[in-house]
Structure formats: structure tokens, C-alpha cells
Amino acid sequence: MNKKELIDALSPGTDPAPFFALADKVRRDNVGDGVHVRGLIEFSNTCRRNCRYCGIRAGNPKVRRYRLTKEEILACARTAVSLNYRTVVMQSGEDPAWSPRDVIPVLEAVKKETGLAITLSIGEHSREEYKALRAAGADRFLLRFETSDRELFKALKPDSDYDRRFACLAWLKEAGFQVGSGVMAGLPGQTLESLADDILLFKKLDLDMVGIGPFIPNPDTPLAGSAGGTLDLGLRMVALTRIVTVNTHIPATTAMGTLHPQGRQRALQCGANVLMPNISPVEHRVDYSLYPGKICVSDAADKCAGCVDAMLKSLGRTRAEGYGHSLKNAPKG
């Protein structure tokens, strides 16, 4: 699809049903009916940055900051094993006390003890640090570029640099990571044209994974009064991303489920093939509030697993076999 076709498909006046159906078929034909389940460990909500949309920004004094210890992270990884998850996603703010150097011994311990695939989501670091993390055994890395619109990026991430963000994505790829990126949909000032550019950029960057969620305004941030994204726009973005990128791994995000009780289910029916249930300790979940109303904050990991399996059953889908590595360089069939 070209840019004009994408803009048209994103427009509220266009009936999405035909391309939702096409996205579902592209998903089935290229990544199958299996859904990869990744256990999410939010191991620190401390962050040095001040993204205007994000609840754990450094400038939000209301956040009760926490850091899990190495032992607590290992305990989460054991939970993942017990629930038959094959991947853990270790996510944090850009916490100077959990630098790549500090993360390395933990991921080595997780790898050695559990053999799980490890995805990191810990923000912007140097080329050398990315290489070291990869050498230590991390398999994948998530770093959303948030928006392809340079001006909007600058307005929303005042202490980040647009070009450096994309340099980070190139370094991650060079270091041998399977790389995921993505955006929020419905940001203040974001146009359909820039969302179409986002999708074309997913393709150009040849990503292994693409995460898309609606922007949900957080009352404790500068964007408190903004409108926020809709489920409809989020689903259109997921569907078009599937059609354009074909065999990427695309999660039905928690933000999608927060906006609507059937949000994740709907995403799985129009292109998504991944779920990322939370396996963080329940006592810290409310403190990792990027946006308000986040689902599952008081559910123990095993309840989320039950929920996931019930959801898959209701959709006629199953958990996927294996680690769920990238399909980019895998032989088709």
C-alpha cells in the first residue's frame, strides 16, 4: 500500500471491515494461528527522562519509585517458566541505577537458570552497551520511535534526540538483536499522514516486531487534558501494519485492552499475534502507571495466564510453540 492508500484506510469515514479481514488473512498465512505469550517484568519505574505523555517521567513527583532486586527479577523469570512462557521482557525506565552494566549479570543469570528468550526494553544506550547486552545473551530489544514526525517527537520527548533514537535502532540491529519498535496512535498534533509515514517506516526499518498502542492521557503529566487515541484508530494501525510488514510479530497491547474490554481480542482478530501479560510482583504494578486505568494491575501472574488462555480459546486460537523468534530470516512454510 502506498501513502495515499494508507491515509485513506486510516480515515474515520472509510469502512475498516475489508482491510481488517485482509490483515487477519495475512496474519494467518504468514505467522499462523499461534499466539506468542511473553511475560512482562517491569523491573524499575525510575526514569531520567521527561516524556510529556509518560506517567513515570522524572518530573512526576506522585510516583512511588521502586526497583526490583536481582533475586526478585529471577523470581519473576521462574514464574514465567512455571506458566510455560518462553520469553521474558525486562522493561524499565531509563534508570541510571539499572544501567546496562548492572542489567548484564541479571540477564546472564536468567538465561543460565531458565533458558528463556530475553527481550530488553530499557531505552537509549550507547552502541558499545548494546553490543555488550547482546553478547551477554539478550535476544531481542524493544525501542519504540513513538512517532516518525520529527517536530512532534521533539515536542513530546524534550530531552531526547530524533536522530539518536534511530541511530539506536540501527546499533541494535548491528549488534544482532531482533529489534522491535512502534508508536502511539492518537497523540496530540499527530496527523493521519504521519501515522501513514509510521507504517511505511516500520517496513523500511525491516523490524522484527512492531508494538502499537493508543495514546492514553495521564492526569499526572503535561498532556493531562489531551484527547487521546481511540480503539478504532489503534486497530486500523495494527491491521495496516500487518498488511504492510507481513510477517512481523505484533502484540495486542495492554493499552489496547485498557481502552476497551475487548481491545486485545479485537487486535488479535485484525493482525496481532502476540500477548504480553504482566508477571511483575503485584505490589509494584500500580506504580508502573504509564497511563491511567491499566488492566490487570491487581492480578497475580497465574490469573493473567488463565485469562490469556481463556481469551485465546474464545478466539479459536492457541498458544504458539517455541520461543517465538523473528520470522524475518526464517524459511517460509
CA distance linking residue 130 with residue 107, whole number of Å = 13
Shortest separation between residue 56's beta carbon and ligand FES, angstroms: 6
Which residue type does 145 have?
Answer: F
Q: Does 100 bind ligand FES (CB under 6 A)?
A: no
- Interface with ligand 5AD includes 195 (CB under 6 A)? no
What b/e readout covers 51-86, taking b as 16+ CB neighbours within 10 angstroms?
bbbbbbbbebeebeebbbeeebbbebbebbbebebb
Residue placing its CB nearer to ligand 5AD in the complex, 202 or 291 = 291
The answer to the question of residue 304 lying near ligand FES (CB under 6 A) is no
Stretch 119-138 residues interacting with ligand FES (CB under 6 A): 123
Measured distance CA(190)–CA(173) in Å, rounded: 27
Among 20, 53, 202, 288, binds ligand 5AD (CB under 6 A): 53
Q: Say whether residue 41 binds ligand 5AD (CB under 6 A).
A: no
Bridge partner residues of 119 (DSSP) = 89, 140
Which positions from 211 through 230 interact with ligand 5AD, judged by CB under 6 A?
Answer: 213, 215-216, 218
CA 333 to chain centre: 26
Min separation Cβ 70 and ligand FES, Å:
22
Whether 145 and 166 have beta carbons less than 8 Å apart is answered as yes
Distance in angstroms (rounded) separating the CA atoms of residues 66 and 127? 27
Please state, in angstroms and rounded to a whole number, the distance separating the CA atoms of residues 303 and 318: 17
Binds 291: which of ligand 5AD, ligand FES, none (CB < 5-8 Å by kind): ligand 5AD
Q: Record the cell numbers describing residue 169, joined without a space.
A: 535502532
User: Residue 57 Cβ, how far from ligand 5AD at the closest point, in Å?
Assistant: 9
From ligand 5AD, ligand FES, none, which one binds at residue 207 (CB under 5 to 8 Å depending on kind)? none
- Residue ranges in contact with ligand FES by CB under 6 A: 47, 49, 51, 54, 56-57, 93-94, 123
Q: Kindly list the residues in this chain that would bind ligand 5AD in the complex (CB under 6 A).
A: 53-54, 144, 146, 184, 213, 215-216, 218, 255, 290-291
